[in-house]
Structure 1
Amino acid sequence: MSLIIFLLIGLLAGFLAGKIMKGRGFGLIGNLLVGVVGAVIGGYLVTLLGFSASGLIAEIIVATLGAVVLLAAISFIKKA
């Protein structure tokens, strides 16, 4: 069950990051991939800063933050 919740959070985070960074989503699979990878990145960054995310809303925020960082990095690499 926790895997399903993790994937749903990743899907929502990818959707939100797509709206924040590009103004549109990336489709179901794209949003899921961006969100799941973003959740891992966001979790790492938050832990690195000495914080922890507990609760569903905090996990969505951290995953979205990580997904935005991922999309910003991809955009930066594409422009270079």
Structure 2
Amino acid sequence: MLADYGWLSWIIIGLVAGAIAKAVMPGKDPGGCVVTILLGIAGAMVAGFLGKALGWYREPTDGAGFLAAIVGAVLILFIYRLVLKRR
């Protein structure tokens, strides 16, 4: 659960999750290291929100795990590319 870690762990896990998401969905994406970190952190937040909405995380302190952060980051990349294609 990412909620149990400090801010430095969020950055490290965000970097790794964002990098894995970019590796799973290769292509031209903006940004470097900072955007990759933000992608991973946002992926964890999206996964936590969806998990709570679907009833997977019942406690208020439950958050997304590492694999869920990767899935959330891949979802964000997918949506980003769909929006980018329409322009």
TM-score, normalization by structure 1: 0.80
Q: Deviations over 1:1-56 (max 9, x none)?
A: 6111111111111001000111688532121011111111111111112113x7xx
The answer on 1:14 being equivalent to 2:12 is no
Within a 5 Å distance, the mapping from 1:1-80 to structure 2 comes to 2-22=6-26, 27-52=32-57, 59-80=65-86
Distance 1:9 1:24, change over 3 A: farther
Considering only CA atoms, is the larger Rg found in Structure 1 or Structure 2? 2
Amino acid at match of 2:50: L
Alpha carbons 1:12, 1:60 under 8 Å: kept: no
Amino acid at match of 2:54: L
Greater share of helix? 1
Q: CA RMSD in A?
A: 2.2
TM-score, normalization by structure 2: 0.74
Aligned length: 76
Distance 1:76 1:23, change over 3 A: closer
User: What 5-or-longer segments of structure 2 have no aligned partner?
Assistant: none
User: What 5-or-longer segments of structure 1 have no aligned partner?
Assistant: none
> How far apart are 1:70 and its partner, in Å?
0.4
Which consecutive segments of 4 or more residues in structure 1 shift more than 2 A? 23-27
